[in-house]
Every structure is written in C-alpha cells, then in structure tokens.
Amino acid sequence: MTTPPASTSDGATHDRPLAIGVLGSGKGSNLEAIFDAIAAGRLRARVVCVIADVALAYILERARAHGVPAFFLDAGPSKTRLDGDGERRYIETLRRHGAEVVALAGFMRIVKPALLAAYAGRIVNIHPSLLPAFPGLEAWKQALRSGAKTSGCTVHLVDSGTDTGPVLVQKTVPVLEGDTPETLHARIQVQEYIAYPEALNLLARRLRGA
C-alpha cells in the first residue's frame, strides 16, 4: 500500500508543485522569468492563472502563449487600489483556479484588506530597490538622485504598508559611474529574474513545512 504524501495544515502536499496566481499590469517580464525557472527545473511550481487590470497588457499574451488561463478583470473605479467588487472578482478567480500563493508582477495597484486576508502570508511582490531604501514608484531613479552606490531588488511578502512586508530575497546591483535610469534599471531587472524564482522556492518550502 502506498503511503500518501504528507500534508500541510491547509491540505497542500509536500511534493506538489506550488500553485501560483499572478497579477500584473504591463509587459510581464517577471512572469516570463518564472516560466523559464519552471521549465529549467529551478522552480517546482505551476502558474495556474494570470490576471491583469489592463485589457491589453502583454502579460496576458505571455500567459496564453504558455497555455495558462489569462483574464482581464476590471479592478474598480480607483486607479491605484484593488478593492470593492473588483477585489472580490480577483479573489474568486484566484480561488477558482486553485492558487496557493499570489505573485505580483508589475501590478500597479495597492492590495487591500480582503485579498490580504484571503492570502495571508502568501502574497509576494518584487521591488526594484534594497528595501527599506527607496520604497514607492521608480525606485531606481530615487537611487540615482540620492547618489547611492548600490541598488538592487527585493522580493517581499505583502502587508498593509507600502513595500514594508518581510523580506524573502534581496539581490545587490552596483550603481556605476555614468549610469542612467535606463541602464541601472536594466541591470536590476536581470537580478529580479533570478530573485523571484528563488523567493517562490523559499515560500514553497515554508508552506510545505520542508
């Protein structure tokens, strides 16, 4: 008789690939990095759905190219927040597709309490700075304006603050003489594509109790 895999308290098995729901607003390059890491065997996971708040966001095309269910969902009247009926639609879609964790990949809205409660400790975001330095928008430009010698990226759990959740993974990028916002941002993005899969692996181990 075969012994079933050990289960976590929420019913997830230790050897089951992590089920990731992704939220985005733009090109989805970090989603592509997640797909690449899965294909290369560096991340034991599967993307179960992708949701965008912009109808023509290219992240939806990336998802469909990989055979992943992809949806544009109206996020509500606010341009900066996901709340009200929009938030409810997002939660319902994530749950319907079996998402265990939610990965924000360039999602340009503030996550509000209902989604935070539905996926407590299981929402991750990537930010282009070494948090807590330079939270908020266009962090690489903030770094250049400040004269910082180093920048980088941070993958963190999402809480009710702005880029304030517990850090999972950080990668450092030097600020070079002559850097422009574009050149610095490009080097930070290279590290983002490494950091996000690493952080998702770490979160999977925590959730599985491994």
- What pLDDT digit, counting tens, does each position of 163-190 carry? 999 999 999 999 999 999 999 999 999 9
Hunting for tokens 């294909």 — which residue is that? Answer: 39
Span 18-208: which CATH code?
A: 3.40.50.170
pLDDT of residue 210: 62
Q: What is the pLDDT of residues 53-76, one digit of tens each?
A: 999 999 999 999 999 999 999 998
**Per the residue annotation, which of 66, 127, 156, 185 is the catalytic one?**
127
pTM: 0.91
- Indicate if 127 belongs to the active site: yes
Edge to edge, what strands does the sheet with 45-52 contain?
A: 70-72, 45-52, 18-24, 101-105, 123-127, 150-157, 167-174
Hunting for tokens 């929420």 — which residue is that? Answer: 10
Q: Are 172 and 130 in contact (CB under 8 A)?
A: yes
> Which regions of the chain are under pLDDT 50?
1-13
Q: Distance (Å, rounded) from C-alpha 19 to C-alpha 10?
A: 13
Domain positions in the chain are: 18-208
